[in-house]
Every structure is written in C-alpha cells, then in structure tokens.
Amino acid sequence: MSATILVTGGAGFIGSHSVDQLLSEGHHVRVLDNFSSGKKRNLPEHPRLEIVTGDVRNRADVDRAMDGVERCLHLAAQVSVARSVSHPDESAQHNVMGTLQVLHAACRHGLSRVVYASSAAVYGTPENLPLSEGARLRPLSPYGLEKWINERYASLQHQLHGLSTLGFRYFNVYGPRQDPQSPYAGVIALFVDALRHNRSPTVFGDGGQTRDFVFVADVARMNARALFSEHQGVCNLATGKASSLLDLIAALNTLLESQQVPRFDAPRSEDIRHSLGATARLHKWFGLKEPRSLEDGLKALIEHDARWTAQGPQEGQMA
C-alpha cells in the first residue's frame, strides 16, 4: 500500500538513502530541506518525488510541506557536535525548535506516524556496554542533550495527542554520499579520502577507541520499516559489533591496496573511548537480524566512490 511520506533533511546523507528506499517501495515522497548541508544531486529525478525548499524552524514551511502527508521521517538537523558546543543557541533552534515544529504540525495535520533521528550521543560516557535503551542518559554535548529533549517531546506528544512516534538512536552511520569535505564528516569518509589521496589518516588518541559502525542502506531500510510499524518510544540503530579505528584503517588499507600508517594526534576531550549498541530491541521490533558487515559495507562504499570518480555523480544512485 503506497503512502505519501514527508522526509525532512531528505537531501542529506541518511535522508537521501531513505528517500531512495521509500521510492523503491512505491511511496510518494516529499522532501523538506533547507540545503544547508544537503545537496540536490543526492536526490533522483522521479515522478513520485517532490522537493520543497524550506526550513523546519519555520511553521509556514512545515505546514506547506505536511499538507496531504500521512507519515513523516524527520532527519533535518544541525549535525555537528562541535558546533553545538560553540553555538548552543543556534543548534537548539535547529534541533529542538525544528523538531517541535515538526511534531506539533504532525498533530495539527493528523499524521499517523513520525519517525525521527535521535542519536547514540544521548548516552554520553557508557557505564556498561553494550548500551541498551534503558541505560542512564548523560549527554556530553548540547547536541546529545537536544536529541534527548526531542525524545521527551515526542513521548509527550504521544501522551497528550496520541501521536505515534519512534526515535532511532543512530550509532556511527557510514556509506556513500557522506561528504569528506564537510567539516563534520564521519571518520570513515575522512579515512577513505586520506587513503585514496595517499595521505596518512589522522587518528586522535591511540586508535584503540571503538565504535559501532552501521551501513546507511540498513538505516534507510529500518527507517522505512519503522514508518509502517506501531512501536512507540526509542530504539538503538546499531549492529552490536565494535571496531577500533586501527581495525578500520587496516580493513581500508586491504581494500584499497594501500599501506598508509596513521598519524597520531592528541586525543580530543569530547571523545568517548568505547561505544557499542545493544540490538535486542532492534531485532525484536524491526527484524534487522543481519546488518551489513563492516567489510561488505566498506567494499560497497569504495565501489560506489570508484564509479563516481569514473563517471561523475549518478543522480540518486547508490551502491
């Protein structure tokens, strides 16, 4: 059964993959994006895709974009942890007030479901690993706190107005279309870029820190699935497998047939040592039993980059 779905931040990294997924399932998709970091070239020309340029902080823009929509995937955000520290007021405007606009509009327009992007940043320094959804939340940045506030608002909108919501706590998402030129690029995009250009990847600290890397196509599939489920609350979107930065560099060196050794820099004070998501709820609610392995995901990313370099950007095409 096809639906009309609004994707805020749909021109961004996770957003554009989610749009591809929803189109492939036969839905009508409307994107609302202010193109601050998103790009038109991330989106395909498609008869069932409509693009609205606007801002989630602006009530009129959100109303216009939500007209006639049944479900919403809300991803638009100021995504930089560092910027949330240097500009907390601006960050909260995008991330808290923007989300509140979307949730409130969803109630006014009678939407049946809102799925939104939370983050593993809500946890802060873990007391135990893997991190399950019931773990204590102690965010270390305004960004993490903003995502937590959004979870509380979503839960209240459910309580007050019956709005059905699900917040995904994404761990470290990677894959094609993550821009290494962005000052906020994820570590995988930065390492691939360094190795491709015969530069040593920079590691802050000793490289023994671990992360739970989740492939973007899996995230897009879970977003689509969650839009059509009834599960209410929050859920980790992780693989349950930890990889160190040194493991990552070794895997990339093998795949790219390079032999770069990392350049070690001073550890960053805001970095946590280990992060790993518990996946029981994800398995139970959304059935992601076999997420793409890091090796397969990196292979797909590198093949996509090679095609991109050889042929130029293929609109909306993914690995």
Ligand X SMILES: NC(=O)c1ccc[n+]([C@@H]2O[C@H](COP(=O)([O-])OP(=O)(O)OC[C@H]3O[C@@H](n4cnc5c(N)ncnc54)[C@H](O)[C@@H]3O)[C@@H](O)[C@H]2O)c1
Q: So which residues are the catalytic ones?
A: 143
Which range of residues in 31-39, 198-206, 274-282, 307-315 is near ligand X by CB under 6 A? 31-39
User: What is the smallest separation between the CB atom of 18 and ligand X, expressed in angstroms?
Assistant: 9
63 vs 260 by CB, closer to ligand X: 63
User: What is the smallest separation between the CB atom of 261 and ligand X, expressed in angstroms?
Assistant: 26
Q: Is 186 in the site for ligand X (CB under 6 A)?
A: yes
For residues 237 and 281, what is the distance between their CA atoms, to the nearest angstrom? Answer: 9
Choose, by CB under 6 A, the member of 5, 6, 7, 13 that binds ligand X. 13
Q: Is 172 in the site for ligand X (CB under 6 A)?
A: yes
Q: Is 35 in the site for ligand X (CB under 6 A)?
A: yes
For residues 16 and 9, what is the distance between their CA atoms, to the nearest angstrom? Answer: 8
Q: Is 157 helix (H, G, I), strand (E, B) or coil?
A: helix
Q: Is 236 in the site for ligand X (CB under 6 A)?
A: no
Interacting residues with ligand X between 245 and 284 (CB under 6 A): none
125 vs 200 by CB, closer to ligand X: 125
Choose, by CB under 6 A, the member of 21, 91, 119, 164 that binds ligand X. 119
| Angle in degrees, CA 176, 179, 185, rounded to 5 | 110
Q: Is 176 in the site for ligand X (CB under 6 A)?
A: no
User: What is the smallest separation between the CB atom of 35 and ligand X, expressed in angstroms?
Assistant: 5
Q: Is 43 in the site for ligand X (CB under 6 A)?
A: no
Interacting residues with ligand X between 132 and 171 (CB under 6 A): 170
Tell me which amino acid residue 310 is. Answer: A
Q: What's the half-sphere exposure (Cβ side, CA atoms, 13 Å) at 45?
A: 1
Q: Is 76 in the site for ligand X (CB under 6 A)?
A: yes
Q: Is 221 in the site for ligand X (CB under 6 A)?
A: no
Backbone angles phi, psi at 70, to 5 degrees: -100, -35
Q: Is 117 in the site for ligand X (CB under 6 A)?
A: yes
State the burial class of residue 286 (Cβ atoms within 10 Å of its Cβ: 0-12, 13-18, 19+). Answer: buried
Q: Is 300 in the site for ligand X (CB under 6 A)?
A: no
Choose, by CB under 6 A, the member of 28, 57, 83, 292 that binds ligand X. 57
Buried (b) or exposed (e) across 142-169, using 16+ Cβ within 10 A?
bbbbbbbbbbebbbebbeeeebbbbbbb
Which range of residues in 51-59, 204-212, 259-267, 276-284 is near ligand X by CB under 6 A? 51-59
Backbone angles phi, psi at 42, to 5 degrees: -75, -15
Q: Is 124 in the site for ligand X (CB under 6 A)?
A: no
For residues 229 and 248, what is the distance between their CA atoms, to the nearest angstrom? Answer: 34
Buried (b) or exposed (e) across 14-23, using 16+ Cβ within 10 A?
bbbbbbbbbb
User: What is the smallest separation between the CB atom of 86 and ligand X, expressed in angstroms?
Assistant: 16
For residues 218 and 283, what is the distance between their CA atoms, to the nearest angstrom? Answer: 13
Which range of residues in 77-85, 129-137, 190-198, 268-276 is near ligand X by CB under 6 A? 77-85
For residues 106 and 109, what is the distance between their CA atoms, to the nearest angstrom? Answer: 5
Cβ neighbours of residue 13 closer than 8 Å, sequence gap 6 or more: 42, 173, 175, 177, 178, 179, 216
Binding site residues, ligand X, CB under 6 A? 8-9, 11-15, 33-38, 55-57, 75-79, 94, 98, 117, 119, 170, 172-173, 186
